Amino acid sequence: MWDNAGALKRVTRWLMILVVLILLGALAVWVYNSPYFPVKQVKIEGEIQRTGGKQLQAVAQKYIRGNIFRADLNGAQEAFAKLPWVDKVTVRRRLPDTVEIDLVERIPVARWKESGLIDSNGNLFNAATDEKFPVFSGEPGTGKIMVKHFNEFNAILKPLGLAVAELEYSPRSAWTVGLDNGISVRLGRENETKRLQRFAEMWPGILQAQQGNLAYVDMRYRDGFAVRYHDKQQEPQADTPSENSASGVEAQNRQ
């Protein structure tokens, strides 16, 4: 083989490649452990309103320190994601000396009746806050559909100067809306959005003047609605039949 010039060239070429690879590996190890590439900046981007600065700083100091190549960005990302108010987070290197953290906070929509909060994506989470939110009551896993209906219902009520204070989605899939003026609106299992729209149509001309004495309005009737008064002695008007005055046909048609 030593007399074969072609074979010697091939061996030499492979040896040179091996030496280069070894040198590159040694260089990578040196760079990885070198004190000459410290993290000098940690930039946190995003609108941060509820996540405490001390929490962010504690995570950054634990995982993002020393050599920028050795900083534990995966560990930092996992730790940031566990903070109560953090919805999404991305941690990345920007050579030569910067780590960027892109945070998206949760947007709280309501309190879950049992415990915790519901965010704008319908996810249940636990976080401390004194802020006042509407209250949701529903089965586990119904947060997403409740947020969707909450937004739809509020859009219908807003022109009336009303808003959803409580929203109930029963195990039988029936909807009940508690308004911020103390009145409850029963919508049932079917056509709940159309029924609330019908309530909105009736509100200015019939119901608004009586709101101080209304306990609830039942919209589960095909061609009408029923009301219940706080004052049991007060007789309802003819065009707003009370719960006790609903006919048998109406009761059968109620869903």
Counting the structural domains of the chain, the total is 2
| SS3 per residue for 158-226 | HHHCCCEEEEEECCCCCEEEEECCCCEEEEECCCHHHHHHHHHHHHHHHHHHHHHHEEEEECCCCCCCE
Whether 125 maps to a domain, the answer reads yes
Range of the structural domain that residue 224 is part of: 108-229
pLDDT at 112 over 90: yes
Residue 145 shares a structural domain with residue 52: no
Residue 164 shares a structural domain with residue 123: yes
Whether 31 maps to a domain, the answer reads no
Residue 116 shares a structural domain with residue 219: yes
Residue 149 confidence class, pLDDT cut points 50, 70, 90: very high
- Per the DSSP assignment, residues forming a β-bridge with 247 are none
Instruction: Say if CB 4 and CB 60 are below 8 A apart.
Output: no
pLDDT at 2 over 60: no
Average pLDDT over residues 27-52: 75
Look up residue 150 and give its two tokens. 């909450």
pLDDT computed for residue 245 by the predictor: 39
Look up residue 83 and give its two tokens. 């903070």
CATH number at residue 82: 3.10.20.310
d(CA 97, CA 128): 35
Higher pLDDT, residue 94 or 24: 94
At a CB cut-off of 8 Å and minimum separation 6, what does 50 contact? 85, 105, 127, 129
Question: Considering the entire predicted model, what is its pTM?
Answer: 0.77
Look up residue 112 and give its two tokens. 């879950």
Whether 117 maps to a domain, the answer reads yes
CATH number at residue 142: 3.40.50.11690
